[in-house]
Each structure stands twice: as C-alpha cells, then as structure tokens.
Structure 1
Amino acid sequence: MPLTPVLSRYWDDPESWTLDTYRRHDGYDALATALQMAPDEVISTVKDAGLRGRGGAGFPTGMKWSFIPQGDGKPHYLVVNADESEPGTCKDIPLMLATPHALVEGVIIAAYAIRSSHAFIYLRGEVVPVLRRLQAAVAEAYAAGYLGKNILGSGYDLELIVHAGAGAYICGEETALLDSLEGRRGQPRLRPPFPAVAGLYACPTVVNNVESIASVPPIIRNGVEWFRSMGSEKSPGFTLYSLSGHVTKPGQYEAPLGITLRELLEYAGGVRAGHKLKFWTPGGSSTPMFTDAHLDVPLDYEGVGAAGSMLGTKALQIFDETTCVVRAVLRWTEFYAHESCGKCTPCREGTYWLVQILRRLEQGGGNETDVEKLLDISDSIFGKSFCALGDGAASPILSSIKYFRDEYLAHFERDGCPFDPQLATLFAGVPA
C-alpha cells in the first residue's frame, strides 16, 4: 500500500511553517470555499467524507459537530486538544511545528461550521518552540484577514486564542482540558452533560484533536470522493503513523488507514539490524500491546479493534527481543501513576499498587501470586475509573500478561530480570 502524503507533503520545505509557503501549497483556498457554503453544508461534507477523530477514540468528526444545538442563544466554542503527551505519541507536535497554518485554517472552517465566534488551541506548555510557532501563525492569519472581523468579506467573525497548559497528561481528557481552560484544576467532569451541551463556560462546545481539524481543509478542497478513495469503508482517509523504538528509520509515515505494520516496516527499513520484533503498541502506551503475530492486522479502527486493541493515536512503538516486557510495562505504569489526577479511587489507589508490585517483580522479589494480583487490580481499574486514564494504565498489564506470562514468572524464578546483562550471562544456555 503506497504512502499518502497530504498533511506532511511539504514538511521538508524550507520555512514550511510560514504563511507564504502555506499559500504556495493551496493554503486558505479551502477556507474561501467553505465560507461560500452554508455551515450545515460544511458539516454534511465532513460527515459524508467519514472523517473520524484522530485523537484516539475515532468518533465521527462531522457527527460530533452536528450535536451542537443551534438557535439556543448561547455562545458556541471550538477547542482544539493539542495536549499531546502520551508516551510514544508524537504526531500533533510535528504537525504544528512544520505546518501550523494547516491547523489554523481547519480551526476557522470548523468554527464556522458550528457557528462559533471563539476558538481555543490548548497546547502542551512544555513545547515552547511549538507555542511560539503557533502564536506566530495566528498573528500572520490575523494580519492577512483570515481571523478577526469579517473574514474574507464574508461577514463571519472569529477570535482564536492559543492557550499553553501547565504540563498535566490528564488535561488531554477533554473535560479535564475544559476545566483547565477555565482556570480550575484539570480533572475529568462527570458526564452527562456532555461538552456538546454544556462544555466550556457551560456552553455548547466541540473538542477536537489537532490532526482531525487539520484534515478538514483537504476534504473541503478536494472533495468527499477523493478522501474516501483512501482507507477502508468504515475508516476512510489518510492518517499519520508514528514509528519509534527499535526501528531502522523512525518517524512519521502518512498512509491510508488500513495499512499494516508489515508494510510500514518496509518503508521504515525494518526492525534494527540483527534483531527481530517482540512486541509493539498500535496506538500508544495506553493501548493493549500486540506481538509479531499481529504484523498483518489492518491498522484501522475496526481491524485493530477486532484483534483486541485500539488504534488510538497510531503511535507504533516497536520493541525487539532485547526488551524486558516487565520493565517496559513498569515504566508506562509509573507514568500513569504519576499522572493520575487522584479524583477516583480505582485509578488513584490502583495505579500506585500496580507500580509497587511491578517494581518488586522486576527486581526478582515477587512470586506467582503477584501476577494474579496484577490481573486482579487491573480488572478493578479497567472500565471502573472516572475517565480513560485508568483503562490506559490497565491495558498494557492485561495484554502483556496475556502474551508474556512466562516472562513475568521468569523474573522471580531467576531472582531478577533475565534481561539484566549480569543475569543474562549467568543464565546463558539455560532454558527460559
């Protein structure tokens, strides 16, 4: 399956982030087209294209826009979730760094569609170079008449604010993001009401991922049939796959939905020389892991779901046979325990105890009941926490024990990690 560079097609241009470069690549043509359409027509176009949210859940973008009640007399808000911070996930940050205007144009079109006059981009605060680049792009758009009053003479007004978060992973959850944007502590809200009814400042709000919004201008510019010519029937279009870890050429690979890891690895030069694939994540560290038996799973929402995981953010972390699966899972679990907001007991207490047990196991101090205890605690978290962070913490543990239970057992049978260099020498030639 060939790669389909759309969002990334001119990332390697000199000064790809400037307004001049963006205009040279048909920048803001889609905006002019959209402003001549009725807002509902824009929503219908995105619906017909079948664009699904690129932030993890894969919810249809046009449908989300259509949930906003019209004629209610309230302000409507568009919020772009740019708080990308999950281990392994790295697609929105490069996109905003290379082509911030792709996001800005998408924001204007999406805000017009939902009849919003105020939009926000909530960016992860640590990535200062991206913050500066986005702010510069927004300033360029204001100066060129793409933002502000009477955009392109259409009578449509929009104010766009770039807001830097304070570095909390939990603020990637849409309702925690809204609380943070309002100046409160970032913690998930109880739903219902959903953001489409009572979101930012208790008004109807759409929260979309960066890549979802940046994908809108190409759809408006090239049409529904063009978008649907890529991908699969239920997961149409193109997307960014991030390959990292033990791969020869890590990076962003923009391809149709439904491509397989085997095909992507061909583009990426395969697993690093002299090694073979052991396990990998299809959608970031919060998704159940796969093994080399899943190389031919179609990487779209249905294909990955049917194989027992989630497409998530398409963050493909590749691990070869030198990696200790227990150590990798421990590192992820430490992250989730640290980033838990503490609002709900299953996640607050469960992630803490998962870390304690995993540390003991990894150091060779556990026993067989610890593996069952990990499963028991994970089951108490999965589907029972206030938001999806709990599911993200439990998924790697449940899937790693499913595929690598023997490796967990080997840690206490050998009084330590069998991948430790000293132990590996000690146990050379001994069957695992």
Structure 2
Amino acid sequence: MALTIPSETITEVLQRTDLVELISRHVVLKRAGKSWKGLCPFHEEKSASFTVDGERWRCFGCNAHGDALEWLKRKEGLPFLDAIRRLAAAAGIPLPSVTTREPTSDPTAKVLQLASDHFTAALAAPAGAPARDYLASRGLSAETIAELGIGWAPDAWTTLTDKLARLGFLSAAKALGLSVARQGSGGHYDLFRGRVIFPIRSHSGALLAFSGRYLGTTPAPKYLNSPESARYKKASTLYGLDLARQDLRRTRTAILVEGNFDFAALWQAGVKNVVALCSTALTGEHLALLRRCDVTELVLLLDGDKAGQAAITQHARLILPSGFATRVAHLPFGDDPDTFARREGRAGVEALISAATPFSAVFLERLLPRGAQAPFEQKLRGRQALATFLERLEGGFWRSAFLAEAARHFGVPAEDLLPTPPSSGPRRA
C-alpha cells in the first residue's frame, strides 16, 4: 500500500517553507533584485545561473528546477514522504493521518528484487562455482557475501530477460537497463553476463541498480553499472550508505573509497564508516547525503596509483569550500584499499587513517612539490594552475583562508597568487 497526503496540506507546507533559508544551507545565495542567485550545486559553473524566487528554484545552466520538496529529493536524496515530513515539522504543521491507496502500476521495485534474487540464487547454484572461487580469492567470507547481497550473472545471453519476460516485466527490465534490445535482429539480451553482481541501494536500503565485475576472457569492460534510470542517479548514490549510516553518525567521519571491492574489504575488516563512489566523480549531492548522516570529516582513501592521486585535484573545488574537514590517507604506491585492508587488517587501516594528511596540504603539494624552495619556473607553473582553480572558487572565508595557506606554501604574498586580469597591452606614447 502507498501513503497519500491531502494536496491542500502540501500546498500549505510549501507556502510556509522559507525556501531561501532551506537552500542557503548548501548554496551561498546573494540578493539579485527580487530573487536570489548562486552557483548551481548540480553542475560545475563559474558564473551564477541558479536562482531562487518565491517558492521555486531553477538553474538556467542545467535546467534543474522545482520547489522545496523537489530540492530535498534532489539534493538530499529524500523520498517524498520523508521530505514532506521534514518540511512540515520545520513549519510547525501537523500532518493529518495519511490514507492508503493501492500502489501505481510501476513495477520497477519488484523487477529489481526479482533480479537480485536471480543473481543470488545463481551464485549459490553449482554453476556459480567459478564466481564463488573468485570471491574467495578476493578474501570475502560467506558472511560478507550474504550481508552485501553479492550475486552472480551467468555467462548466458537471455537467462534473466527470459524470466522477466515470462512474468510480464520486459518493459520494466528495459527501463532499468537489465534487458537490452538487440540491434537489427529483434529480441533482447541480458546486460549483465559473466559478472559478479553487487546490488546498489539507496540510503534507506531500497534497491536501485546493480554493479558487475566481469570474470570472462572475451573483451568487455571490467566493471559495468546499470545505466541511470528513474530510480538510479549516480550523482546522488553512494554505495554502502545504507549499511554504514549508523557508524557514520557514531564517528562523524566518512572514509571514501572508489569501488565495491574496496568497500567490501574495509567492511569485512571491521571498518564500518565507509562508502564508495562506484565509477563516478564526487558530487555535491554525495556530500549532502553524508551531511544528513551528521558527517563532519571526510577521509579520502583512494588508489595509490597516478589515477587515484589525480582524483585529489578533481575533487578540490568541491571539497575545499564544503565545510567538511577533509584528509587524504596515503596508500603505498600500487596498493588499493582492497589489497591493503586484506593484508593489514583493521589495525593497519585505522593507523593509515590516523596518519592522513589535511586535504589542502596534499592539493598544494601536488601543485608545487618543493613548496617555497621550488625554482621560479616551477612556481610560475604552479601559480598558473592555482589561478585556474581560484577562478572557480567562490569568494568568502574559504577562498581567503585557502589563499593564505597557498601563500605560505609558495613563499610569496597572497596577492601575488591571485588571477591576473587580462592585460590591455602596452601603452603607446
């Protein structure tokens, strides 16, 4: 059964919600006539195209828009009922007893559960032995496999598609990306084939999608996630958040890793305040999800290779002004969190986290490794990279404090690091 709230109650809640105050918790807004403007939290931009006017907000850059309910749904990942309850409580409006009605015809939740059951049954079947052997080689126990709901997609073309089609769910399977239309010849085939499957869930535990690690020998992407759908948005989903929420609130620290196996290894080792990005860049919506879990500190535990370290620079514009105290844990070169946690155990991971370096120091070290002792040419290149970053960092405390730290690292006055305005050229006599 589904819950409904009278439309007049929803209207009253929206009318009594201070939308500017609500959005200002996440976006720096400045008065612009009768409306308010700021940088859009849903995409990267240099000039403000995000506006708040009355009971509505809109970004003219990415066209995201809505009211206070849509804001909470998009920014914090809240389902409708949780969003209206939060706004009603803040406005002091008691919600009437809700009535129940039959659910709509949307079958996607049922299809996802059928698919998950199919994958877990396939892992337990005799034909799932290669997948079980692989998981054992990755050090995962039967308890962890069950706890995470890990399964197996057999290396067959239409096993899941045929099952869902017989039940009348082919359209829903296509909408979720579980079944893919064949080009030219007609028919459909399974997206996931020959893959160890991790279910991806919302912060509340609802099934959203799947992620698969390929075990075959023919050319194919090593990791494959479900495509985005009406239920699944990568930018607002963190793998493992449903499991980690209590430990995130207890420690107020989130350890951020890249992949499913990284999460699984730390989780099994006893490090529970961990979430994974799963093949996407960190977003403002991810940070909002963590903020809802009372997280105040982030620890980036990324791969020790060049790609993992390069991600630090990519995350800088989002992290530095976010309000999170952020540190970077340094894995040995070539290590990843999975192999490190299996080798060193919980004590090793906790020691690594304790020794993590402040994010700003790591970022500046990447720009100018030798700091104030660097020769002029290196400082010039570092300043150019820093200026590009500063242009995208909104003014205020975060920019000023970071600029002061950068000046100490470079060994020059802060004003000399500011982006240089375009020159109009030499004056003629």
TM-score by length of 2: 0.28
Where relative contact order (Cα < 8 A, 6+ residues apart) is larger, the structure is: 1
Q: Higher strand fraction: Structure 1 or Structure 2?
A: 2
